[in-house]
């Protein structure tokens, strides 16, 4: 069975600080996908990144970066020079299974508050 | 391109009443999902449709929840009768492909059961 753990329930930082959100996953599949979503107060889930299990290259997109390490089953997300607009709940998710039955399993989320 | 549409955005009902939510996916998206998000938790899949057929409804409480996707486009999720623990945000998502590796989520319907 697949499982995603986000141990940090809430994080609070001051604007311009760097912050890392942790994600640990469990799966028996060798082929799977990992995701990060942002959920601002408006409630809509915003897709940030998708990574497949065969691509361990770290990725950077502007102030966002992701560190995927299969050896520790982790897919951590770092925001550099945080801004107030980054305040939201961030979810890590895992998708496994073949064919049409693939589905997303979400972690419980990390509430990030960036203070001015 | 229009996103996933959901209505209503908010609904307040009393326990034992019935309620229905509507979802219109992105045009051309064959796969549609309903997720339940209880406050403080991540979304949990309730049901997945491929066109108008059910792919996975293993986590749908079928004694009170039902969902349909007639004509393979719009979908309706119904709760009858509602319980207090059904208070949650109900998210609809759609995907162009059945593999589910790229989902577009709607804004959700926030249900409060009193």
Instruction: Report the residue of B31, B37, B38, B42 to disrupt the A interface, i.e. the one with the largest count of A CBs within 10 Å.
Output: B42
Looking at residue A97, its pLDDT comes to: 62
Cα-Cα-Cα-Cα torsion A97, A65, A74, A114, nearest 10 degrees, comes to -110
Per the CB < 8 A criterion, the answer to whether B79 and B18 are in contact is yes
pLDDT digits (tens, 9 = 90+) for B93-102: 998 876 656 7
The answer to whether the Cβ–Cβ distance between B43 and A91 falls below 8 Å is yes
pLDDT digits (tens, 9 = 90+) for A7-40: 999 999 999 999 999 999 999 888 888 999 999 9
Among A11, A78, A85, smallest CA distance to A42 is for A85
Question: Which among B50, B89, B93 has the least Cβ separation from residue A100?
Answer: B50
Q: Is the pLDDT of residue A100 over 50?
A: no
More confident residue, A4 or B71: A4
Q: Kindly tell me the burial class for residue B48, based on how many C-beta atoms sit within 10 Å of its own C-beta (0-12, 13-18, 19 or more).
A: buried
């Amino acid at each position: 069975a697949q499982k995603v753990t986000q141990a940090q329930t809430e994080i609070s930082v001051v604007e311009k600080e760097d912050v890392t959100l942790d994600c640990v996953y469990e799966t028996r599949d060798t082929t799977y996908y990992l995701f990060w979503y942002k959920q601002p107060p408006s409630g809509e889930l915003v897709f940030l990144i998708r990574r497949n299990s065969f691509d361990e290259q770290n990725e950077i997109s502007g102030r966002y970066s992701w560190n995927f390490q299969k050896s520790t089953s982790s897919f951590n997300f770092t925001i550099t020079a945080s801004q107030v607009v980054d305040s939201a709940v961030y979810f890590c998710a895992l998708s496994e299974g073949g064919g049409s039955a693939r589905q997303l399993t979400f972690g419980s989320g990390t509430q990030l508050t960036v203070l001015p | 391109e229009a996103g996933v549409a959901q209505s209503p955005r908010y609904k307040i009902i009393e326990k034992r009443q019935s309620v229905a939510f509507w979802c219109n996916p992105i045009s051309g998206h064959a796969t549609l999902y309903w997720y339940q998000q209880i406050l403080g938790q991540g979304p949990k899949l309730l049901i997945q449709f491929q066109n108008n057929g059910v792919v996975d409804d293993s986590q749908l409480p079928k004694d009170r929840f039902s969902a349909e996707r007639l004509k393979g486009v719009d979908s309706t999720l119904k709760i009858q009768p509602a319980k207090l623990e059904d208070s949650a945000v109900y998210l609809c998502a759609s995907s162009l492909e059945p593999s589910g590796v790229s989902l577009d989520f709607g804004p959700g319907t926030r249900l409060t059961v009193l």
